[in-house]
Each structure stands twice: as C-alpha cells, then as structure tokens.
Amino acid sequence: SQQGEEDPQALSIQEGENATMNCSYKTSINNLQWYRQNSGRGLVHLILIRSNEREKHSGRLRVTLDTSKKSSSLLITASRAADTASYFCATSMGSNYKLTFGKGTLLTVNP
Amino acid sequence: DTGVSQDPRHKITKRGQNVTFRCDPISEHNRLYWYRQTLGQGPEFLTYFQNEAQLEKSRLLSDRFSAERPKGSFSTLEIQRTEQGDSAMYLCASSLFRTSGTHLYEQYFGPGTRLTVT
C-alpha cells in the first residue's frame, strides 16, 4: 500500500518558474527521500531529509519536513525543461530501510 | 558503468509462461531491493536481500514469485505461470548498509525491466 500521497498529481509551469510539490505520509519515519523518474525509466535519488531535520538544500532543490503534520515539500527553483519528470516522495522506517512511495507528481516544464 | 543494471529491459510473454529477470547491483552494495511499479503508481516494495539472505518479502509477492541472490552479488526474480496482472515495471535497487557509522539510506535504482503479459 502507498504510504505517501503527493500533491498535486500534475503540475505544468513555464521554464524559469518555481515548482512546489507536497507529500503527506501516515506513519513515523526515519527519513524521507525524493526521487525523480523520467518517462518509463528508473528512479534517480534527489535528496534525503532525516526525521530530525526540518529543511535541506541541494542546488536548486529545497526540501522541508514537518513531522508533526507528517508532510514534506519539494521546491525546485528556476525550473528547466529538463526537469520534466515524475517526482516521488518515499519514506523509510525500521531497520529494513525499504522505501514506501507515493503516487508521484508529474511535472511538465514548458520551454 | 558502475550503476545498477537490469536485464532484460523489456519482456513480452504469454500468460502461463515463466520469466526470469536479473539485477546486477553496484558492486560494493550489500543490500538489494526489488520493487514493482504499475502505470500511474509509485513503486511498491517486493523483497530485499542483505548479502545472500532474503530478509523480508511483501505480501504482494505471491507463491508464483521467487527471488534469489546466491552469492550476495547479482539477484534474479522469477515469476512462474505469469498472469496479465503481473504486467508492470520491475525495478531493482541497491544500497550500502553499514552496521557502524553513519548509514547511507539512499537507494540506487536500475533502469527496470518492463514486463508485458499477453
């Protein structure tokens, strides 16, 4: 079963604009990760935030985590056409560290 | 290329046939995970190995599914008597589990094997 739910399901923006995607989850976690998937291909790890962290940056990416609300957001600044992809949040808990994914947000960046 | 590789990339089979997929993880990674992804959904966990030991199987993994990692390196996922509902992308990922020090949680995914059962 899916742990997380991303919002919105689809997002279309113009190149240069910022894109914000949200993720909600249901149970306590060790960490939350964001992955990108280009059409029909494997997933690429973007960024990880641990449960005791509130905000993290990596290049044009900014992730926030609110464990009291069980939610996270991913901000992509100054978007590019190459950012067009599906973005998934994934939570990890327990010693097995298996990932539980949401359904993803399909981001389209128009040139 | 030192990433995770999967073979084949595409497989079309008839209902009732058996299929086997292979995953080669990043060489120093001791954990290997299998996930299944259907259209419009996120990946769902199937099973994982630490070295050669299979430590957990999802209830999604019916008796028709079996996975092995015989020498703690590559892994195979076999589906017997395939059904149309098995049509999906099968993803393999690997990670490095450290028993001491800072654990690395990131998983590195292969390109996937897309299975179509007709």
**Contact criterion met (CB < 8 Å) for B107 and A99:** yes
**According to the model, what pLDDT value does residue B111 have?**
94
Best mutation site among A97, A100, A105, A106 for testing chain B: the one with the most B CBs within 10 Å?
Answer: A97
pLDDT averaged over chain B? Answer: 92
For residue A82, give the 3-state DSSP assignment. Answer: helix
Looking at the predicted structure, is the pLDDT value of residue B64 above 60?
yes
The residue whose two tokens read 């899916």 is A2
- Interval B69-117: pLDDT, tens: 998 899 999 999 999 999 999 999 999 887 766 666 789 999 999 999 9
Q: What is the dihedral of CA B78, B26, A98, B55, to 10 degrees?
A: 60
How many Å apart are CA B9 and CA B7, to the nearest integer?
A: 5
CB contact under 8 A, A97 and B105: yes
pLDDT-derived band at B38, boundaries 50, 70, 90: very high
Give the range with max mean pLDDT: A91-100, A101-110, B55-64, B93-102: A101-110
pLDDT, residue A33, reads 94
Contacts with A35 from chain B: Cβ below 8 Å: 109
CB contact under 8 A, A98 and B97: no
DSSP annotation of B40 reads T
Nearest CA in chain A to B49: A96
CA torsion angle A51 A54 A58 A62 (round to 10): 120
Q: What residues of chain B lie within 8 A of the CB of A43, using their CB?
A: 43, 91, 93, 109
Residue of B43, B89, B112 lying closest to A101 (CB–CB): B43
pLDDT (tens digit per residue) in A12-64? 999 999 999 999 999 888 899 999 999 867 899 999 999 999 999 999 999 99
> B103, A90: Cβ pair inside 8 Å?
no
Residue of chain A minimizing CA distance to B99: A95
Check residue B75 and give its pLDDT: 98
Answer yes or no: do B112 and A101 touch at CB < 8 A.
no
Chain B contacts of A29, Cβ < 8 Å? none
Q: Which of residues 18-57 of B touch A (CB under 8 A)?
A: 31, 33, 35, 40-45, 48, 55-56
CA distance A23 to A98: 18
pLDDT of residue A92: 87
pLDDT of residue B72: 87
pLDDT at A5: 79
For residues B25 and B97, is the Cβ–Cβ distance under 8 A? no
How many beta-carbon pairs below 8 A join chains A and B?
A: 63
How far is residue B64 from each of residues A81, B10, B56, B68, B86, measured CA to CA in Å?
A: 42, 20, 16, 13, 10
Residue A96 has pLDDT above 80, yes or no: no
